[in-house]
Every structure is written in structure tokens, then in C-alpha cells.
Amino acid sequence: MVWRFLRRQVLTSRDVRGGRFTDVVLGGLNHQIEHHLFPSMPSPHLRRARIVVRGYCEELGVGYPETGLVDSYRQTLASLHAAGAPLGTPETTWASRAGAGLKGGSLGGPTVDGARATAVR
């Protein structure tokens, strides 16, 4: 049970390498693994917990995802782009919905009356 919790928290998070400047700029969010393992630990102590957690993960053979600041932003933006890509497809644009019988409201958005979209005039 503990093994699964540790594995889930470590493998679904990543830490951002950096010094005290990174800690201040990111408000301690760069220590995501430690934060997920110890959510009530004050952020100034997460840096020290990182040493213990990293060593324990190494001892157990669990990967410890860690990246630099720029690469972290690159990964985040790539993930957001991948998640948002289906929203930009022709079948989900406003023009295609309008062509499917949905009319725009007074502010340009659809208005819904019950289950039927109607125009506001």
C-alpha cells in the first residue's frame, strides 16, 4: 500500500532543479514530489526533504523525475497544447456550430432555452 502511494506520487510529479532563487520564484512549487508526499510540510522544508526522498527512491529503484526550469516550461506548454489541440479542430469552431443550427446570442455566444439553442433578439 505504501509502495503504491509513493510510486504514484513520485511518478506523476516532477521536481524542477534550481537553487534558492528558483524556490522563491516558484514559491516552492518546484518541489512537487515532496509536496505530494508531505502536503502539510511548510515549503521552506521541502528542499531538505528532497534529499531524503531522492535517496529513498534511489534505494527502492523508483525513478525520480527532475528537470530544469526551461525544460519544465517546455513540457508544460507541450502538454497544454496537446490537451487543447482538439478544441481547434474544424468540428469544434464557432462557425461550424453555427452551421449546425446553433445561433449566436446577443454577445456572440450561444443561448440555450431548455435543451434547444435559440437566438436572442
pLDDT digits (tens, 9 = 90+) for 17-47: 988 888 888 888 899 999 999 999 998 899 9
**Would you say 46 and 34 are in contact if contact means Cβ atoms under 8 Å apart?**
yes
In a domain, 79, yes or no: no
In a domain, 56, yes or no: yes
pTM exceeds cut of 0.85: no
In a domain, 80, yes or no: no
How many domains is the chain built from?
Answer: 2
In a domain, 60, yes or no: yes
In a domain, 78, yes or no: no
Domain housing 50: 2-73
Least confident of 33-37, 61-65, 86-90: 86-90
